[in-house]
Amino acid sequence: MHHLKIFIELTRLNKPIGFMLLFWPCSWGLAYAHSVNQNFKIFFYYLILFFLGSVLMRSAGCIFNDIVDRNFDKKVSRTKNRPIAAGKISVKNSMIYVLVLCLLAFFILIQFNFFTIILGMSSMLLAFSYPFMKRITYWPQLFLGITFNWGIIMAWAAINNDISFEIVILYISAIFWTLGYDTIYGAQDISDDEIIGLKSTSIKFKENINLFVTLMYLISTLLIFYLFKDKIGYNFFSLLLSLFAISLFYQILSFDKKKKESCLKMFKTNNLSGLILFSSILMLNF
């Protein structure tokens, strides 16, 4: 039980917001592909595969991130009790977990077509480079957005075996979405990160953080409305799409960068935002 507890802490399985924010973009890509090429059995099967893949890769990513950041985590109040930083598990054993999780994720990946497998393998470079970005640039959130939303491209490719202009628009929109929510999340650690020399958009735009998040969410929303402009009207799809936009601007109005609980609460609201957009894209079929 002790080892299981450490594994859950390592992988953040007790904090599902992480793998859900990795899964929702996959679901958007699948739902959009399904609206073009309707095959419910394939859609549902791939939805399960992408969910499992999201859980596995997010878990592996968390452990690898903690290995890379172990010396920094010791100095940050929010992360000092993480298993590796606290010395509850060795780096060697943690790497074994990473390799096992990646192997399981690979078995899921090979269920798809060759093009999707290549896309999935290429994303590994992005995923394992991300932890180093906060050391060299104030834009690690941008790199996270490029990495975390790659599932949109993969999901489309899994069904259509190509990449379309429309799915790239959805992908770019999701990147701006991530830039917004991860800047809110990063606001929790501004004071600690500045002391130890880590960088983020939260620090770069700390004097105008609400304005920056507003701009990111606005661009994300406008791109989505542009993508679906021909579908918008007096229908349930448009209502859900509007609710997605409202959920983002609710966060802007509600989060307070000086209160960690407020930042975390508004960050977690994006789980609902992801579900709403997934539901709205599914409505294209009805």
**CA distance linking residue 212 with residue 186, whole number of Å:** 13
Mean pLDDT, range 71-88, rounded to an integer: 84
Q: So what's the pLDDT on residue 124?
A: 85
**pLDDT tens digits, 203-242:** 999 999 999 999 999 999 999 999 999 888 877 888 899 9
Query: Sorting pLDDT into bands at 50, 70 and 90, what band is 92?
Result: very high
Counting residues of the chain whose pLDDT is more than 70, the rounded percentage is: 99
The chain-wide mean pLDDT, for the chain, equals: 92
Q: So what's the pLDDT on residue 213?
A: 97
Q: So what's the pLDDT on residue 286?
A: 61
Does the pLDDT at position 95 exceed 70? yes
Contact 192, 78 (CB under 8 A): yes
Q: So what's the pLDDT on residue 74?
A: 83
Counting residues of the chain whose pLDDT is more than 90, the rounded percentage is: 72
Name which residue leads in pLDDT, 202 or 235: 202
Does the pLDDT at position 285 exceed 70? no
**CA distance linking residue 196 with residue 166, whole number of Å:** 41
The tokens describing 24, both together, are: 């929702």
Question: CA nearest 131: which of 50, 204, 206, 60?
Answer: 60
**CA distance linking residue 46 with residue 48, whole number of Å:** 5
2-285 maps to which CATH number? 1.10.357.140
Between the alpha carbon of residue 232 and those of residues 191, 246, 279, 281, the distances in Å are: 43, 16, 15, 11
* CA max distance for the chain: 57
| 276: Cβ contacts below 8 Å, ≥ 6 apart | 240, 243, 244, 247
Q: Which of 7-16, 171-180, 264-273 is the least confident region?
A: 7-16
**CA distance linking residue 210 with residue 184, whole number of Å:** 9
Does the pLDDT at position 90 exceed 80? yes
The tokens describing 275, both together, are: 């579900």
**pLDDT tens digits, 119-177:** 999 988 888 888 889 889 999 999 999 999 999 999 999 999 999 999 999 999 999 99
All structural domains of the chain with their residue ranges:
2-285
Residue 86: in which H helix or E strand, if any? Answer: none
